[in-house]
Amino acid sequence: MDEIGVFSPEQARTLWQDYLTRRQLQPQTQANYPQRKPIDEPSPHRVFVRNDSAEECPGYGCLQITGVAVVGGMTVVTCDKPYTLDGEYLFNSPYPIAAGGNGWAYRYGIVIALGNGTPPTTVNVEYQPVVSTWTIEESAGGFFTVFGEHNVATDAVIGRFAGSGGGTFDIEFTVVSMDCYSDPWILTVEVTYFTGGCTASIPGADPYTGYVEVENRCNIANHFTAENIVGLSGTATYRYPRTGSYCTPAWRLDDICSVNECPL
């Protein structure tokens, strides 16, 4: 008969304590896996930020991007309280960020934000930042789309944030028809791509057809007629008023191309 080993009571207690200690370790240590460096890249919806303002940023506050910095060997996006209406923005997580402190923010998607205390007048209404505050407010031509109020915090609203700032939106389209009697000529187009994301939030889109009217300020009369322009593709830009200047919000034609050539 083969002999088997035996433990003294003291050795058995030592082995049992060692087992209990290992049960408290992280899973990769229990399995003897190496400790790996955390991946230094944002999640799909989050980004590390530093609050460079002189005051605490509340949860869900609107942040204006000012640049980047390296903190603890990791690149973060530096932010301040909104100070213009033509910048790039993020929305803080649920956790306040102290002045000069670090945290994380949502970089796009369906987000919760701090409103200015006035409930939205309807669903899918346009909002923009309120300068010198952490809040956003309802404003025609704004570049955030708010669905309604949210009960997570006082004055909170929920909506879509496309990850872009004020000033412009762009579309790609196919021409449906052209009105040669208007001044400037007006193209009715079907949008195939919108930089704001959800096509339901395209400024000026017809609520029944989804079509958009584009002002033709290019000299396309030398190349196309109202009949042969139908079905062609093009691009247009929607320009919002910016700080210190003014332009009437409208879709303006940038380019239009036939299948084999781009005459403009």
Q: Compute the 3-state secondary structure of the chain and give helix, strand, coil in percent, each to the nearest 5.
A: 10, 40, 50
- What pTM was estimated for this model as a whole? 0.53
pLDDT in tens, 76-127: 999 999 988 777 899 999 999 999 999 999 988 889 999 999 999 988 888 8
| Residue 39 pLDDT greater than 60, yes or no | no
Q: Which residue has the higher pLDDT, 211 or 3?
A: 211
Could you tell me which residues come within 8 angstroms of residue 181 by beta carbon, excluding any fewer than 6 positions away?
none
Quick one: average pLDDT of 53-77?
93
- Residue 57: the pLDDT is 97
What's the distance, CA 128 to chain centroid? Answer: 13
pLDDT in tens, 140-157: 767 788 999 999 999 999
Q: In what order do the strands lie in the sheet with 109-114?
A: 109-114, 156-161, 144-149, 125-129, 136-138
- Across 90-94, 232-236, 243-247, 254-258, least confident range: 243-247
What's the distance, CA 236 to chain centroid? Answer: 21
| Residue 244 pLDDT greater than 50, yes or no | no
- Residue 59: the pLDDT is 95
Nearest 5°: phi and psi at 245? -150, 175
Task: Please give the Cα distance from 253 to 178 (Å, whole number).
Answer: 12
- Residue 242: the pLDDT is 41
| Residue 26 pLDDT greater than 50, yes or no | yes
| Residue 219 pLDDT greater than 60, yes or no | no
Q: Which residue has the higher pLDDT, 100 or 236?
A: 100
Quick check: 153 and 113 in contact, CB under 8 A? no
Closest CA to 86 of 146, 131, 54, 45: 131
- Residue 217: the pLDDT is 59
Task: Please give the Cα distance from 164 to 108 (Å, whole number).
Answer: 8
For residue 29, name the pLDDT band (cuts at 50, 70, 90).
low
For residue 30, name the pLDDT band (cuts at 50, 70, 90).
low
Could you tell me which residues come within 8 angstroms of residue 133 by beta carbon, excluding any fewer than 6 positions away?
81, 82, 116
Task: Please give the Cα distance from 133 to 160 (Å, whole number).
Answer: 20
For residue 44, name the pLDDT band (cuts at 50, 70, 90).
low
Q: Which residue has the higher pLDDT, 258 or 250?
A: 250
- Residue 264: the pLDDT is 40
Task: Please give the Cα distance from 67 to 264 (Å, whole number).
Answer: 36
